[in-house]
Amino acid sequence: MTAPTPSQTVGPFFGFALPFEDDADAADGDAGGAIRVEGQVLDGAGEPVPDALVEASEGEQFARCRTDGEGAFHLTLRKPVVSDGAPCFEITVFARGLLRHLHTRLYLPGEEDVNRADRVLQLVDESRRHTLVGSADGDVVHFDIRLQGEGETVFFAL
Amino acid sequence: MSDLDYEPPYLYPDYRSTELRAPRHEPVRLPDEWFHKAPGPAFGRIPVGAEDADLTRRHRGEPLGERIIIHGRVLDGDGQAVRNTLVEVWQANAAGRYVDPVDDHDAPLDPNFTGAGRCLTDDAGFYRFVTVKPGAYPWRNHLNAWRPAHVHFSLFGPALASRLITQMYFPGDPLIPLDPILSSIPDPRGRELLIARLDLDTTIPEWALGYRWDIVLRGRRATPAEA
C-alpha cells in the first residue's frame, strides 16, 4: 500500500515555526545576477492573503517568505542559467484555506523570445500565460499571485 | 493520478476559508516525464540541529502536558525509504494554544514550550520527535468548531512533486469525524492515513507514550504490480 499521504492546510499558525534566518534570500542581493522579486498574494475578492507561505526553488536555490499584513512577499534569487527553455523559478504557495498547496512558475520579463519557445508555457492557454511572467519594475521583478477570480494565476499539477 | 489518490479538493465549502482561496481553473497538468526529472528544492539552508527533534527540552523547564514520542518512516511511492530529508513540525501546546502571535485563543501559553521542531530522516527513512500531546482548540469556521489535536508536518522529499504539508491526528479522538479539514479528504481510507497509531514499541515505559506515523511522498508513481 503506497498511496501518497494526503495534504492538509498549512493553517494560520506556522509563522513561529517555518521562517528561518535570511529565508527569503537565496542569493546575495548585491551580487551580480541577483533578482529581487516582490509581489502580493490575493484572494478571489482581490483582498490580500496575509497568512500565505511562498517558496521559490530553482536548482540548488531555495527561498521561503511568509506574506505580511498586506499579503506582500519578497524573494532574492539568482537568475537561472539554462541551456534549454526559458529561465524560471518554481513557486509553491501554501495558505490557510488551501487544503493542498499550489504550484506555479515565475518567468522573467525581457525574455520574450525564450519565453515564447518554452514548452511549459506552451501548454498554457495563451490568454493566461501573462500570469506566469513577472513585470519589470525598476530593478525589481513584480509578480502577484492571484488565487482565484479575474486574472487567476495559472497553477500546475505535477 | 491513480486510484490510490486521496487528496482533498481545493474547494470544500464546509471549510469556509477555501471559498475565496480555491482556484476556479483546473490546474495545467505537466507531462509525467517533466515531473520525474524536476529536481526538488535544496533545503540545505534551513538550519537543523540534533536538539531540534526534542520539543520538550528547548527551555529551562519541562513543558506541561502528556509527554509523547512521534516516530515513523518516510517512503516514496515505490515504498523506498526517503533518506536524509527534512521534516519540520509545529503544534499547539497541551492547552491548545500556539505560540504564534496570530493565535488569540484564550488558553495559557507555556513558558517551557514553543512547539516547533526539525529533524532529518535517517538512512532507513525514519524520523523521531519528542514532544507533548497538543490540545484541541476552537476555531471560528462554524459555531462550536473545535480542531482535533494535531501536529503539522512539512516535508520536502526528493523532487518538487514530493513537497508535502499535512497534519497528523491522534487515534480515538472524538473530534475527528466533526472536523471539516480532515473530512475534506473524500475517501475514509485517505483520512485514516493521517491518523497515527499508538505504538507500544516506541513507547518508553514510565516515561512517554509512543505514536507511529508513516508518511508516503509523491514524486514517483507507484508501480501497478504493488497494488
Alpha helix locations (H) across B24-126? 32-37
Looking at residue B1, its pLDDT comes to: 45
Assess if residue A11 is contained within a domain: no
Q: Is residue A129 part of a domain?
A: yes
Please report the pLDDT score of residue A32 as a whole number: 81
Provide, as residue numbers in chain A, all residues whose Cβ is less than 8 Å from the Cβ of B35. 158
Total length of chain B: 227
Which residue is listed with cell 526529472? B37
Catalytic residue among B147, B191, B218, B220: B147
From CA A140, how far away is CA A16, in angstroms rounded?
28
d(CA B203, CA B67): 10
Domain presence at residue A57: yes
pLDDT at residue B36, rounded to an integer: 57
| Residue A8: inside a domain | no
Across the interface, of A92, A100, A124, the residue whose CB is closest to B8 is: A100
Q: pLDDT tens across B167-220, in order?
A: 999 999 999 999 999 999 999 999 999 999 999 999 999 999 999 999 999 875
Segment A41-45 mean pLDDT: 98
3-class SS string, B109-145: CCCCCCCEEEEECCCCCEEEEEEECCCCEEECCCCCE
Would B11 be classed as within a structural domain? no
Give SS3 for B62.
Answer: coil
* Closest of A121, A123, A125 to residue A111, by C-alpha: A121
DSSP per-residue codes, A98-120: -SS-EEEEEEPTT-HHHHHH-TT
The pLDDT score that the predictor gives to residue B224 is 38
For chain A, say whether B22 makes contact (Cβ under 8 Å). Answer: yes
- The grid cell for A103 is 504550484
Residue B172 lies in a domain: yes
Res B222: pLDDT: 37
Q: What is the DSSP letter of B183?
A: H
Structural domain containing residue B181? 16-226
Q: Are strands A140-142 and A34-42 parallel, antiparallel or unpaired?
A: parallel
Which whole-number Å values give the CA distances from A85 to A127, B97, B192, in the listed order? 20, 48, 42
Tell me if A6 is assigned to some domain.
Answer: no
Residue B124's nearest CA partner among B48, B194, B214 is B214
Q: What is the pLDDT of residue B223?
A: 37
DSSP character at residue B32: H
Q: Is B182 helix (H, G, I), strand (E, B) or coil?
A: helix
Which CATH number do you get for residue B204?
A: 2.60.130.10
> Within a domain: residue A151?
no
- pLDDT at A1 > cutoff 70: no
pLDDT at B226: 34
Given this model, what pLDDT does residue A30 score? Answer: 82
Query: No. of H helices and E strands in chain A?
Result: 1, 10
Residue A102: CATH number of its domain:
2.60.130.10
Neighbours of B189 (CB within 10 A): 13
Residue B1 lies in a domain: no
Active site residue B147: yes
In the residue annotation, B59 being an active-site residue is answered as no
Residues 121-180 of B with CB under 8 A from A: 152, 154, 160-161, 163-167
| Residue A45 domain flag | yes
pLDDT along chain B (227 residues), means of 10: 76 98 96 68 85 97 98 94 96 98 97 98 97 98 97 94 96 98 97 98 97 90 37
Question: Å from A158 to nearest chain B CA?
Answer: 6
In a domain, B120, yes or no: yes
What is chain A's mean pLDDT, rounded? 95
Range of the domain at A123: 34-146
| pLDDT above 50 for A4 | yes
Asked whether residue B9 is domain-assigned, the answer is no
Nearest to A7 among B21, B35, B166 (CB): B166
Is residue B10 domain-resident?
Answer: no
Number of domains in chain A: 1
Amino acid at B98: Y
Question: Is residue B26 included in any domain, yes or no?
Answer: yes
Provide the 8-state DSSP code for B190. H
Asked if A101's CB is within 8 angstroms of B116's CB, the reply is no
Q: Which amino acid is at A128?
A: R
* Dist CA B63 CA B94 (whole Å): 8
Choice among B128, B152, B163, B221 that is catalytic: B152
Q: Is residue A27 part of a domain?
A: no
A51 contacts B21? CB cut-off 8 A: no
Number of domains in chain B: 1
